[in-house]
Structures are given as structure tokens and as C-alpha cells.
Amino acid sequence: MPFLSFARCILRTNGRRCRRRVDHVALPNYINRCHSSSTYDASYKSKILPGIKRIILIRHGESLGNIDDRAYVNTADWRIPLTERGREQARLAGRKVASHLRFGNDNDGGVDQGGGDRPNNESKGEIFFYVSPYLRTRQTLREILREVDPKYIMGIREEPRIAEQQFGNFQSHHSIQDNKAQRVDFGRFFYRFPDGGESGFDVYNRVSGFIGTMQRDAYAWENYDSHKHDGMTICLVTHGLAMRLFLMRWFQYTVHEFERSYNPKNGRVVVLEPAIDGGFELSEIDRLAMGFPLYREQERFRLMDDHSLLDKNTW
């Protein structure tokens, strides 16, 4: 199913039927949370990412570039390694990932909701990893895999579309600092780094394309008889900006909302858990940590009530 295809849904509002076209990735969230009296085809509830129980996003651990910008002068960005602290952050992230693959969590003593005992190492489902090709993300994944039982790993795939924003090739320390300062004034989403660099908009577009691939993979896993699973977990080991732009695309945040957000810390594990409407939800802790708004307070809904916002540069 192509990512840019649209699902046609029937909404019932005030006793009338109106037909709207809604991006099918966010369809259940859009309908259930914004049109509480609406009805829709229940089959969509299982077709956003069929068989997927959760999505985990992980920012790589601390790298040499995070502690010294001069590392980029003589070393290609994609070859910057982790620090020892970064490796430890990655191992901690791996333990959190492993806890999601076990019944309950590390503190529940292996007791299920019905009161019966069950082993903590019993699987909740398999996990598939997508990893940015950068050295620091691959090293982060290596440390994560030390904490995850191999029998639960369905696969690992390198994915260039979730790589870091391109800042140019070997970077002049003074030039890149000047560019980043200029980016603040211009706007981080549309500012394009000179000499072959990317804008945030470029990263947004490639992350959007990756979501379509992720959807197609989910359909393939669901239909592959020899890999029936009790809820697959998808894990992306990526970069701070790519994480925010993935969330921007997934939850349809506006450019203004992106501009007010900020990267998660190194080694941060962000989990999208299933929502009752069949979609996925960002936890309040993660939402606040990155500065994203509550769902019902998103600007795309405010626009419906106040068209004057379209005239404003800042909201």
C-alpha cells in the first residue's frame, strides 16, 4: 500500500454525513479524538501498522561530536564514534528495550494481571531494528543488542533515510557555528546548510518516505505465515533531529510546533504505545521532554476555529 495513498472515511456529524479524505497513517487518531460522535470503518483500526504492538525510537548515545564540535573537522560525520559514556547510555537503552519484550516489567516480579506467575523472560513478541548507517548509531545498536535476547530479534536493517541531517562534508568549526546561529534566526525547519547540506524539510521528506516502507514491512510480516507473532515491536536507532521529524510527520505537528521542540538527550528511549483507537500515543513524559503539545492543543485543530492564525508568522 503506497504511503501517500488516502483512506476515504465517512464521518457522521450532527446527523449529516460528510465525506473527508484523511491521511490513513493518522486516521483513527484523527477521527476518535477530534470527532467523538463520528463513526468509521472498524477495519482501519488494525491497518495502520498491522501486528505492530509498539514503536520505539532511540537517539544514539553520546558521541565524540557531542562533546567536541572540532571532531567534525577531520572526521566524516558518519564516522564519528561513541564515547565510553555513550556506550553505557546505549546499554541502559538496551535494558529498557528488553523490558518491553518481557511480560510486565522489571519490577513486577513476573506476576501477570490475573495473579498467576509467569517467567520474566517469556516473550511478549519479536522485535525488528532499523538503524541509521552512522557509526555512532550502529555502535549504539551493538550495545543495545547485548541486552536483548537474540531469539526475540526478527531482523536488523540499515536505513539511510533515518540518518543525521547533512551539514556538509568536512566541517569548518567556525563556519558551522555561524551557520547554526543563522539557522536559529532563519528557522530550523527550512534553513539549508550550505555546501551540500540539508534542511530540516529534506530530512522530513526522507523520514516520511521511510514510514511508507515501515508500513509495507508490517503488512509483509503480518501475511508471512511462518512469522506469526504476538505483537511485533519496531525499534529505530537514529538521531535527535530525525526522531523529532518522525514524530512531526506521524502526529502531523506543524512547522511552528517543530520549531518550539528540541532534541531528546543522548540514549533517550521514546516509546509509542498502542492507543485504544488503534493508533499509537506518545507518552506525556516524552512529549514534555521534547516540547510537543497535547494532541487536542495541536495547531492544526486550532486553525479550524481561528483562521486568523494563517496570517501570523509566530503563534
Over the stretch 7-50, which tens digit does the pLDDT of each residue have?
333 233 333 333 333 333 343 343 333 333 333 333 333 457 88
Q: How many domains is the chain partitioned into structurally?
A: 2
Identify whether residues 16 and 85 lie together within a single domain. no
Query: In which domain, by residue range, is 38 found?
Result: 6-45
- Whether 164 is catalytic is yes
Residues 61 and 89 sit within 8 Å (Cβ to Cβ): yes
Do 29 and 164 sit in the same domain of this protein?
Answer: no
Could you tell me the CA-to-CA distances from 96 to 58, 101, 104 in Å, in that order? 10, 9, 12
At residue 17, what is the residue type? R
Which of 114-128, 271-285, 289-303 holds the top average pLDDT?
Answer: 289-303
What average pLDDT does the segment 90-94 reach? 98
CB 11 within 8 A of CB 31: yes
Q: How far apart are CA 204 and CA 213, in angstroms?
A: 15
DSSP assignment, residue 275?
Answer: P
Together in a domain, 158 and 75: yes
Residue of 62, 143, 159, 164 marked active site: 164
Q: Which residue has cell 509566530?
A: 314
| 28: Cβ contacts below 8 Å, ≥ 6 apart | 40, 44, 45, 48, 275, 277, 278, 279
Instruction: Report the pLDDT value the prediction gives residue 230, as an integer from 0 to 100.
Output: 60
- State whether 161 and 34 are in the same domain: no
Residues 30, 171 share a domain: no
d(C-alpha 210, C-alpha 257), whole Å: 22
Q: Are 237 and 268 in contact (CB under 8 A)?
A: no
Strands 153-158 and 127-131, how do they pair? Answer: parallel
Q: Where are the beta strands (DSSP E) in 127-190?
A: 127-131, 153-158
Q: Are 142 and 24 in a shared domain?
A: no
Contacts of 70 (CB under 8 A, 6+ apart): 173
Looking at the structure, do residues 33 and 132 belong to the same domain, yes or no? no
The DSSP element (H or E) to which 234 belongs, if any, is strand 232-238
Mean pLDDT of the chain: 80
Q: Is residue 228 part of a domain?
A: yes
Decide if 299 is inside a domain. Answer: no
Same domain, 67 and 32: no
Q: Is residue 313 part of a domain?
A: no
Q: What is the pLDDT of residue 222?
A: 79
For residues 39 and 56, membership in a common domain is answered with no
Question: Residue 269 — φ and ψ, nearest 5°?
Answer: -105, 115
What's residue 229's pLDDT?
Answer: 54
Give me the residue label for grid cell 492544526. 300
Looking at the structure, do residues 12 and 159 belong to the same domain, yes or no? Answer: no
CA separation for the pair 98, 103 (Å, rounded):
10
Please indicate whether residue 24 is annotated as part of the active site.
Answer: no
Task: Compute the distance between CA of residue 81 and CA of residue 99 in angstroms, rounded to an integer.
Answer: 26
Alpha-carbon Rg for the chain, nearest whole angstrom, is: 21
On whether residue 306 sits in a domain, the answer given is: no
What is residue 177's DSSP assignment?
Answer: H
pLDDT at 264: 96
Q: Cα–Cα–Cα angle for 38, 271, 79, nearest 5°?
A: 130
CATH number of the domain to which 62 belongs: 3.40.50.1240
Contacts of 210 (CB under 8 A, 6+ apart): 130, 159, 161, 162, 246
Statement to judge: residues 119 and 248 lie in one domain: yes
**Tens digit of each residue's pLDDT (9 = 90 or more) over 243-286:** 999 999 999 999 999 999 999 999 999 999 888 777 899 999 99
User: Does the pLDDT of residue 90 top 60, yes or no?
Assistant: yes
- pTM for this entry: 0.78
Least confident of 66-70, 272-276, 297-301, 303-307: 272-276
Q: Are residues 221 and 76 in the same domain?
A: yes
Start-to-end CA distance of the chain, whole Å, equals: 36
Residue 72 main-chain phi, psi, to 5 deg: -80, -10
Distance CA 272, CA 249 (A): 14
* Whether the predicted pLDDT of 225 surpasses 80: no
212, 298, 308 from 285: Cα distances, Å: 27, 17, 32
Return the pLDDT at 136: 98
DSSP string spanning 47-87? Answer: SSSTTEEEEEEEE---BHHHH-TTHHHHS-GGGPPBPHHHH
Residue 303 lies in a domain: no
pLDDT at 124: 53
Residue 209 counted as domain residue? yes
